[in-house]
Structure 1
């Protein structure tokens, strides 16, 4: 019967931010709010639909208020985003400064997902009004809500005068690796031991209904000028938040962490270039690679780094770059070539947080996936200070790679807390991610400091480290061959070097 077909609708959510807004205040920055206007079907006039919160003293607001609206495919839904500088509590917008507007349709926002456009003011066409960025995401059917109560302790007050007022910002990970703000707590005024109010959030907005989606939480000190200071960051998931009432997280300032671990001229740095003795990174490379080299046919090793800003502009943090700086030939000849490339790289890059493992693991897994017949077996050595910030994605990468000809050796250097890293080593409990269990245990993790105790002989420490981390590799190799019914094969003629990963051609 005509007219009885279901109407194709869905609920979508818009997240709004602006950059480089006009400053219309004299002694402070603008206090922006975004008014979302719509033109109802069949009407010619604009009507207010919803508005965001007002953020004080900023020209680059990230609004936490989510705008939910029903998307109708068969109807052209006109929207207008108007940004104002709020100067008082008067609800009449005519009493506030107009900063700019952007008009579009909901269909364009849905099809673009991320849309950034300039704001305009027809009365000031010669003045730049800044840009507006709108992220539109279809909400899942999840109807669950999460109730959270958080408190903090030992937040450091570095102010000469006055006290701190901490608040938290929650952001969810997007498919492209970026993060979208999903919730902002109130500021806990004048305290180093904040207790934030209990709040409730719908999971379809908070984590897109995905219990294992990575959540980044920034802890900041509220500053009336709008230049809020970052205490640090921690990462979690809704699943982990739901595990119990006493979850504890360590807030880490990723920039400071990378700096303290970075400057190779600083004798306190783990990367310190000592002319008289190798640092822990070099000793770990030598311990493992000296033995692995004997089993490599051509003695060429691709070497990748993660967690650094690169030339020429040093603006973007890379989690996957070639240490020798040559994307067309990322290979280093023998162990000494690896060490030389590492030393040269330290002078060329700026070490920077966060520390993400997943991109490197996925990079090597792409190669291993092309050699399932048993002709090649891959060993990935990762050396880190242990502060991992993408644990959910790393666990997923390892679980997905557990059916490939691959072993992963992780060596922790320095005195960091490595408790979280132990979870990746599935000796006791098989690693799992999103309900899927690893087919094989392919990870071996050891902290280097365990081999520096009780003896001052660096040579002995290297030998004991190598014995520990490589002990499981033969069994891991055999388990892969047995599971895939691959019989022993005769030795082959030396093969050429693997080509660089084509997806990395832009580096």
Structure 2
């Protein structure tokens, strides 16, 4: 069956084609969703034309018949849950030639409902806070910070690659974060006092309060932290994902849209614990959480592109698929010579959709709109 919205004297516009049900004279089509805009351009009285065909593998489908209706008629006709609507399917050629022709069959509609689709701005205005956590790669593959070739080199002449990425990407994320306080962690370094390797240490060395005031505070903590640690390895990303997933899991248990976590990972490339990282992401895909990975330097970012999931659903080693795509990978080198707006668009391109997808999948509506103030309400898109 095909559904068309009428365009006056112009050609009718196809808006939906159902799946083919083969070898069945009484087919039942799967339920489907359409926006009111695509279905009838938000005019619920606009005539809709329904055409029914008998499928033929050669492509020469036999026309069975047609009928017209409107979204308003369908909705009102099925308003009662026990009520159905039906239409005679008329083939004009048979109607005009056959004296006793009544119809070529009947089409029955069992249900037609309107579902409110909330937007990212609805959730933000309803009090949902976006909470960013920063994680910085301090593995030895970044190079000795004392070398000018190191991605972590602290030179008085120009900011290193991580500082450039922190300022550019962090500045963008800061506009989304409600309280402008960022828990900031490092991974892959030996840290004082015992210089044991850690994959989720607070870069301000205060494990009880790892938050930094604004991105400028993250940068200040990074500068103080770097001379005190030893870059080491391996590049284990799963621990920091699991750390952020903890609060997200507690938030999930509230059943409300109050806080959505975003983990911002800055790394130079290859992941050592790929299996554990994939498993951690798959688990996090069921939580109010997203991950933005910023590739720093010129390394091979194949692992990061795999985690992004744009080429197919990410699965954990045991084959369990992610519930939704929550990872966005951005190679910082591609944006060094572009306007900030280009970087902002790429970094935050998927977060609004991911927020809406999560709460919609849980059946969680936004809270009541709150008064809008510049300090607490970010823009819905860069």
Which TM-score tier does this pair reach, normalised by the shorter chain? 0.5 to 0.7
Q: Output one character per residue of 1:465-495: Cα deviation in whole Å (capped at 9) or x when no partner.
A: 232121111111110111111112235699x
Q: Output one character per residue of 1:100-146: Cα deviation in whole Å (capped at 9) or x when no partner.
A: xxxxxxxxxxxxxxxxxxxxxxxxxxxxxxxxxxxxxxxxxxxxxxx
Aligned to 2:291: 408
Aligned to 1:390: 273
What SS does the aligned partner of 2:266 have? strand
Counterpart-to-counterpart distance in 2, 1:347 and 1:471: 35
Alignment of 1:370-449 (within 5 A): 370-372=250-252, 373-433=256-316, 434-449=318-333
Counterpart-to-counterpart distance in 2, 1:396 and 1:325: 28
Q: TM-score, normalised by structure 2?
A: 0.58
Counterpart-to-counterpart distance in 1, 2:304 and 2:283: 18
Question: Does the CA contact (< 8 Å) of 1:288 and 1:470 recur in 2?
Answer: no
Counterpart-to-counterpart distance in 1, 2:289 and 2:369: 19
Taking structure 1 as reference, are residues 466 and 292 closer, same or farther at Cα in structure 2, changes over 3 Å only? same
**Aligned residues between the structures:** 231
Bigger RCO (CA 8 Å, 6+ sep): 2
Q: Output one character per residue of 1:442-468: Cα deviation in whole Å (capped at 9) or x when no partner.
A: 00012112223xx4xxxx365432321
Deviation at 1:418, TM superposition (A): 1.0
Structure 1 residue ranges (4+ consecutive) displaced by more than 6 angstroms after TM superposition: none
Counterpart-to-counterpart distance in 2, 1:463 and 1:263: 32
Deviation at 1:377, TM superposition (A): 0.6
Aligned to 1:321: 201
Deviation at 1:265, TM superposition (A): 2.8
Aligned to 2:100: none
Q: Output one character per residue of 1:237-266: Cα deviation in whole Å (capped at 9) or x when no partner.
A: xxxxxxxxxxxxxxxxxxxx9445243332
Of 453, 464, 484 in structure 1, the residue corresponding to residue 342 of structure 2 is: 464
Taking structure 1 as reference, are residues 425 and 404 closer, same or farther at Cα in structure 2, changes over 3 Å only? same
Taking structure 1 as reference, are residues 403 and 476 closer, same or farther at Cα in structure 2, changes over 3 Å only? same
Question: Does the CA contact (< 8 Å) of 2:183 and 2:212 recur in 1?
Answer: yes
Question: Does the CA contact (< 8 Å) of 1:395 and 1:424 recur in 2?
Answer: yes
Deviation at 1:338, TM superposition (A): 0.6
Taking structure 1 as reference, are residues 258 and 477 closer, same or farther at Cα in structure 2, changes over 3 Å only? closer
Taking structure 1 as reference, are residues 259 and 480 closer, same or farther at Cα in structure 2, changes over 3 Å only? closer
Question: Does the CA contact (< 8 Å) of 1:262 and 1:350 recur in 2?
Answer: no
Aligned to 1:482: 360
Q: Output one character per residue of 1:293-352: Cα deviation in whole Å (capped at 9) or x when no partner.
A: 2232221110011000011232x2111100100112111001100110111110111111
Counterpart-to-counterpart distance in 1, 2:221 and 2:166: 12
Of 169, 191, 202 in structure 2, the residue corresponding to residue 288 of structure 1 is: 169
CA RMSD for the aligned pairs? 2.0
What SS does the aligned partner of 2:251 have? coil
2:235 aligned with 1:355, yes or no? yes
Counterpart-to-counterpart distance in 2, 1:409 and 1:346: 23
Q: TM-score, normalised by structure 1?
A: 0.44
Question: Does the CA contact (< 8 Å) of 1:386 and 1:412 recur in 2?
Answer: yes
Question: Does the CA contact (< 8 Å) of 2:143 and 2:149 recur in 1?
Answer: no
What SS does the aligned partner of 1:424 have? helix
Taking structure 1 as reference, are residues 282 and 490 closer, same or farther at Cα in structure 2, changes over 3 Å only? farther
What SS does the aligned partner of 2:263 have? strand
Of 146, 153, 164 in structure 2, the residue corresponding to residue 265 of structure 1 is: 146
Counterpart-to-counterpart distance in 1, 2:292 and 2:193: 32
Aligned to 1:31: none
Larger helix percent? 2
Question: Does the CA contact (< 8 Å) of 2:296 and 2:332 recur in 1?
Answer: yes
Of 206, 211, 216 in structure 2, the residue corresponding to residue 336 of structure 1 is: 216
Deviation at 1:272, TM superposition (A): 1.1
